[in-house]
């Protein structure tokens, strides 16, 4: 009896012998479809870029945030400049009334 690998090999040979013409047409058709798809994708991308240019919307430019670097070996009693002006958190205790 034939095993799975022998059956698969026989099937591939039969397909190649009797379907060689159809197989070539199928591959040719797939190549044409891929080229058309690629051309359409380029056209859509170009159209989108033209639309953005017409709307005056350029691609967003990344912004750089400037800050201060505080070395880790600073004294514990110093506070960063940003924290000096920040409001102090509420301790949760009721405020005394005058």
Asked if residue 37 belongs to a domain, the reply is yes
Evaluate if residue 86 carries a pLDDT over 60: no
Asked if residue 26 belongs to a domain, the reply is yes
Asked if residue 50 belongs to a domain, the reply is yes
With a CB cutoff of 8 Å and minimum separation 6, the contacts of 9 are none
Cβ-count burial 69-88 (b if 16+ within 10 Å, e if not): eeeeeeeeeeeeeeeeeeee
With a CB cutoff of 8 Å and minimum separation 6, the contacts of 16 are 23
Asked if residue 93 belongs to a domain, the reply is no
Asked if residue 12 belongs to a domain, the reply is yes
Average pLDDT, the chain: 77
Q: Would the pTM of this model clear 0.85, i.e. be above it?
A: no
Asked if residue 32 belongs to a domain, the reply is yes
Q: Which domain holds residue 7?
A: 1-57
């Amino acid at each position: 009896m034939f095993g799975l690998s022998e059956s698969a090999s026989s099937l591939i040979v039969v397909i190649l012998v009797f379907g060689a013409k159809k197989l070539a047409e199928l591959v040719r058709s797939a190549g044409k479809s891929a080229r058309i798809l690629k051309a359409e994708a380029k056209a859509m991308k170009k159209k989108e870029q033209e639309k953005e240019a017409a709307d005056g919307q350029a691609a967003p430019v990344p912004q750089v945030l400037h800050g201060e670097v505080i070395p880790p070996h600073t004294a514990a009693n110093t506070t960063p400049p940003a924290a000096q002006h920040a409001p102090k958190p509420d301790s949760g205790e009721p405020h005394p009334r005058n």
